[in-house]
Amino acid sequence: MLSGTILSLIVAFSYILFQNHELKQDLEKQKAETLMLESEKDYQQMVSFYKEKGKEDKPQKSGYVIRKKAEKLSKQFKKESDGRFKEEWGKFLVREAMRNDVDPYIVYELLRVETGNKFDPTLVGPETKYGRAYGMAQFMENTAPWIAEMAGMKYESKEQLFNPYYAIQLSIVYLDYLHAKYDDWDKALTAYHRGIYGLEKYIQKEGHAESWYAKEIQEKAEEQELIAVGKK
């Protein structure tokens, strides 16, 4: 009799555990779906903001001036990277950065930090709870499509992120968006590194947006500019 009661209790307890496990899984699934919907809404707002911003007049720069600067900086970037950052990549970076009114030195230094000085276009980042980051600009699969939409480019698969020109273009467009949103390089760069919500959490914790990432990129960009004008 006693053994039967114990067995019934064990069965009942097991059922409760099973039900709790099922409930927990359902709650986690609902939470994930909610976050996905919120993220999609946020990304759509990002795209709308950027497209609206794109209607504004950007400073017009002479094609000749852009070409000359692209030739000069592409050689500098190649030299500073010990040949790892190809000259043709540099020319493309400078042209597109200047066309979008983004500091090319910032873009170059961001790519340097993202790849750990390697400038490897085939780089795959470590596994995280959000997935992996791919390519020279280290974009995640869940953010790359929206940034590509901002840039007016097709996104079909993560394989495109391994194309250095595609990655450079996305990084410029995303930096352009972030700087327009915050009008502050500390915030823009920290948001690039940690995500927009990550930036908010960082500011709440530290009281400012000057992360090591933002500080290093800006300091190195200033050094690159001094080299370019012959003051270093």
Backbone phi, psi, residue 127, to 5°: -70, 135
Give the span between the Cα atoms of 151 and 170, in whole angstroms.
7
What would the two tokens of residue 83 be?
């040949």
pLDDT value at residue 227: 87
Give the span between the Cα atoms of 61 and 96, in whole angstroms.
12
**Rg of the chain over all Cα atoms, to the nearest angstrom:** 23
pLDDT value at residue 188: 97
Identify the bridge partners of residue 131 per DSSP, sorted by sequence position.
128
pLDDT value at residue 55: 47
Q: Could you list the mean pLDDT of each consecutive 10-residue stretch along the chain, which spans 232 residues? A: 57 59 66 52 58 58 84 96 98 96 97 98 91 95 92 94 98 96 96 93 96 98 88 60
Identify the bridge partners of residue 139 per DSSP, sorted by sequence position.
134
Do 191 and 217 form a contact (C-beta atoms < 8 A)?
no
Q: What is the DSSP-derived secondary structure letter of residue 149? A: H
What would the two tokens of residue 49 be?
């903001």
